[in-house]
Structure 1
């Protein structure tokens, strides 16, 4: 037994075995004594503390804590979810097919057009959103149609913004559909009326006899500028938001201001004159203006609808239908002349409506029921405003800023038999229309602003005026002293007295001559 103990002591006392013993890692902290002592000695040599033997325990604790911190730094933090990954998770739902959908629904007529085909033709013309984005937009429109049960829906376009953009979908109005909430200006007007009535009841004020004209009434849903309903979303996969209907006041003010869109519908529009609403209302007004000026189609594709009723009734200005006997126009001819294209959306009048309304008439009053005597009593009745009729050719569009309103071209001059005809609006940059055979489509991709001519350049300042020539007539006299003024005053008095004496002598001579 003693021999074995001696051998073990010799084995431990050997330098190699002792170093291996010191480099054995601890089962708790995973640190070995050799590295710990090495770090402790290096710390003592670097810092040279006074009374090192007294603080060696604290320094040993600091060295051990440093080893633990270095090992903890190697741990990887959990990656944070970025906005692109969140958007990808939401867009992944667009590619999932509902289990309830069957083959029978696929065979039914879809309310969506073939967006992939539209993207192909727009790509031939050199415009569009790209194949990948068009496919995601098509799936987003399909999701909108399923959730809202829309009878017809199409991609209107994309309006760019400073923070984010708007993808706009145009849907047909469903009968019986009403607005869920009142607009902001209507709520403000009601609050003002309630406040005025309360003040008048408590302390009645003198009433003014002036009666301003009533505000222009908003067109009913499904007619005029509110014929279609529009939905917007920032990215495919994000929720769609329904835009409110547009009022004539919003269209009138939108014509007088120029504001970039931010991408937030609840943003207040700061402008002069003040805009009655937020960015959602401003966006809806710009969509109405762009649609009225740039929605075009081949001539003869639509025809006036023959409505049953009294022959005396005027036909609706926005009533048209697809012409079943339409024959496609050659692409080269559509690119050469603007007479082969027509507007199929009503023009917006200066009043802010598509149909003129007489503000001089009281609500419920009909001008046809009045007699001729009443007409003679009101000679200042405003003349009704009339705009261009529906299906007016593009050749009748007026030029602005000495540029043509439209630019025509063919997608390919080499293979004209497979090319498409393209119309680009110069007044609304970003509005395009293509036609190929019996197929056509309109799309807008831009900032939602109208062309206002060349950029403003301030005029050159005029040349500086010449100095006024000085002379004795305008030379300022030097102020005289008090003694000089007194001498001048005395001389004037003597001159005046001498003049009076001369006048007296002349009067006496005249009297003697008379005698």
Structure 2
């Protein structure tokens, strides 16, 4: 009997140790865990909760191997940005005398208040961070003037743009910028020199008659499109980066392409026509175009200086000064009439400059040393390009695709005595201007692209040029037929026979003369 009981117990234990095909658990181990949990916890009315205890034991053994939750990164991008922006809120010990000195730090909070009234802006929290970032910029560089230009959106990150002006004689030293056109021209000159060296040794080869068009020189600093210096950063607290000067070629190509910004200044600009530079140059070109088309001020806030008035009337005026007698224009009048707003940034000509330059005039170095200047034919003088002068009312701006250039309104019609006049550009979506009494401001918040109507057609490639002029001396002739070859052969034989006969006659005459 004992042997039978032991065999039955061993058989039942083996049955209890058999794993389930669903959960891969066995009853023996499960009961052992349940009893262990009951002994450890000793719950009341254990007989009533034994099923829940069994369920909890099974749940603790389950492992979720199909979790779709991502691992928490060790340091999130927001945390890294917060650590960098934390330095903006650190207060430095500043003497009271230094605080009373005039500073280039703009009142961004006031600008944000008026923009908020106009329904435009970046929010109070972001404007406060921008204000602290501007303080960091002003403390690090010798700036005379600094203001918030706007924010250009990008696919990866955005650009905060600061428009600055250096103090006299304290501009940062910057080496000569070599544009892609200069590099290409140097490469062409080097190739021509190498070809000329080869020609001197070998036979004369045909020379190309193509002459590249003259390169339009860029405007000097503090003039035209390079009047101001621009700094950008992707987030408040990150380093400010100075944008390079803009060239006419970059402005002209930027007018023909449409590209979203990525947020990386070193990103290449892949387009047709090819853009001469990277995204930093493209950003600078778009800033110049937007400033020339959307920066406006109330009529009478600026005036031309007395020195400007003494000059000839035909000379374009490129400078102005604030009018101390300006009393402001009523908000209702500025919201109803576009003639009360004027442009205070020079217009960018089709040449890519604010001031036209005559490219047909050659420098003195290009004339021959023999002094044959009078013998050379002077080319026809091109007609100078003239744009709208400074302080031109925006009411004279032309429409584009049957769309008016500007839209004006009041910030509030309920409290008109405290309202702000708002002007919105339809040609550059995102450009706004406000005016209230003697205060006004401009800001741009957008993608940096001009309104192009309902559809946009990119520029088509140019027609391929002929490789060589077609003429009889280089045109391949058709092969002659058999009859033509036989006729030519017979004609050559007759010509040869006649020539031999003439030679024989000449020899006979010479012999007769000798006799």
TM-score by length of structure 1 reads 0.69
| Contact residue 213 and residue 359 of structure 1 kept, 8 A | no
1:162 aligned partner: 155
> What does 1:20-59 correspond to in 2, within 5 Å?
46=19
Deviation at 1:378, TM superposition (A): 4.2
Distance 1:265 1:440, change over 3 A: same
User: Given the alignment, which residue of 129, 135, 142 partners 2:128?
Assistant: 135
2:194 aligned partner: 199
Task: Tell me the alpha carbon deviations over residues 78-120 of structure 1, each in whole angstroms, 9 at most, x when there is no partner.
Answer: 9611111110011010111223x22112112221221101100
| Contact residue 432 and residue 444 of structure 2 kept, 8 A | yes
| Contact residue 116 and residue 135 of structure 1 kept, 8 A | yes
Aligned: 1:426 with 2:426: yes
Residues in 2 aligned to 1:261 and 1:42: alpha-carbon distance in whole angstroms: 71
> What does 1:88-237 correspond to in 2, within 5 Å?
88-99=82-93, 101-174=94-167, 175=169, 177-180=172-175, 182-185=177-180, 188-189=183-184, 192-193=187-188, 195-196=190-191, 199-200=194-195, 202-204=197-199, 207-237=207-237
Distance 1:260 1:121, change over 3 A: same
> What does 1:14-413 correspond to in 2, within 5 Å?
46=19, 80-99=74-93, 101-174=94-167, 175=169, 177-180=172-175, 182-185=177-180, 188-189=183-184, 192-193=187-188, 195-196=190-191, 199-200=194-195, 202-204=197-199, 207-307=207-307, 311=311, 317-363=317-363, 378=378, 380-413=380-413
Distance 1:254 1:43, change over 3 A: farther
> What does 1:447-466 correspond to in 2, within 5 Å?
447-455=447-455
Deviation at 1:363, TM superposition (A): 2.8
Deviation at 1:427, TM superposition (A): 0.3
Deviation at 1:305, TM superposition (A): 2.0
Residue 307 of structure 1 aligns to a residue whose secondary structure is helix
Worse-matched range after superposition: 419-428 or 315-324: 315-324
Residues in 2 aligned to 1:305 and 1:375: alpha-carbon distance in whole angstroms: 45
| Contact residue 304 and residue 319 of structure 1 kept, 8 A | yes
Unmatched 5+ residue regions in structure 2? 1-13, 21-60, 63-70, 200-204, 366-372, 458-515
1:474 aligned partner: none
Aligned length: 387
Residues in 1 aligned to 2:398 and 2:77: alpha-carbon distance in whole angstroms: 46
Residue 230 of structure 2 aligns to a residue whose secondary structure is strand
CA RMSD in angstroms comes to 3.3
Residues in 1 aligned to 2:98 and 2:298: alpha-carbon distance in whole angstroms: 32
| Contact residue 157 and residue 444 of structure 1 kept, 8 A | yes
Task: Tell me the alpha carbon deviations over residues 49-95 of structure 1, each in whole angstroms, 9 at most, x when there is no partner.
Answer: xxxxxxxxxxxxxxxxxxxx99xxxxxx9961111111001101011
Worse-matched range after superposition: 79-88 or 436-445: 79-88
Distance 1:188 1:119, change over 3 A: same
| Contact residue 94 and residue 140 of structure 1 kept, 8 A | yes
Worse-matched range after superposition: 188-197 or 139-148: 188-197
Residues in 2 aligned to 1:160 and 1:112: alpha-carbon distance in whole angstroms: 24
Residue 440 of structure 2 aligns to a residue whose secondary structure is strand
Residue 121 of structure 2 aligns to a residue whose secondary structure is coil
Residues in 1 aligned to 2:432 and 2:145: alpha-carbon distance in whole angstroms: 21
Residues in 2 aligned to 1:185 and 1:456: alpha-carbon distance in whole angstroms: 28
Distance 1:78 1:259, change over 3 A: closer
Task: Tell me the alpha carbon deviations over residues 432-459 of structure 1, each in whole angstroms, 9 at most, x when there is no partner.
Answer: 00000000000000000000112469xx
Distance 1:86 1:453, change over 3 A: same
Distance 1:211 1:455, change over 3 A: closer
2:468 aligned partner: none
| Contact residue 295 and residue 343 of structure 1 kept, 8 A | yes
Residues in 1 aligned to 2:129 and 2:392: alpha-carbon distance in whole angstroms: 35
Structure with the greater alpha carbon radius of gyration: 1
Deviation at 1:375, TM superposition (A): 13
Distance 1:375 1:115, change over 3 A: farther
| Contact residue 155 and residue 443 of structure 1 kept, 8 A | yes
Distance 1:456 1:388, change over 3 A: closer
Distance 1:203 1:387, change over 3 A: same
Residues in 2 aligned to 1:334 and 1:93: alpha-carbon distance in whole angstroms: 42
Deviation at 1:180, TM superposition (A): 3.4
Residue 307 of structure 2 aligns to a residue whose secondary structure is coil
Deviation at 1:240, TM superposition (A): 0.7
Distance 1:308 1:344, change over 3 A: closer
1:35 aligned partner: none
| Contact residue 178 and residue 221 of structure 1 kept, 8 A | no
Residues in 1 aligned to 2:452 and 2:18: alpha-carbon distance in whole angstroms: 78
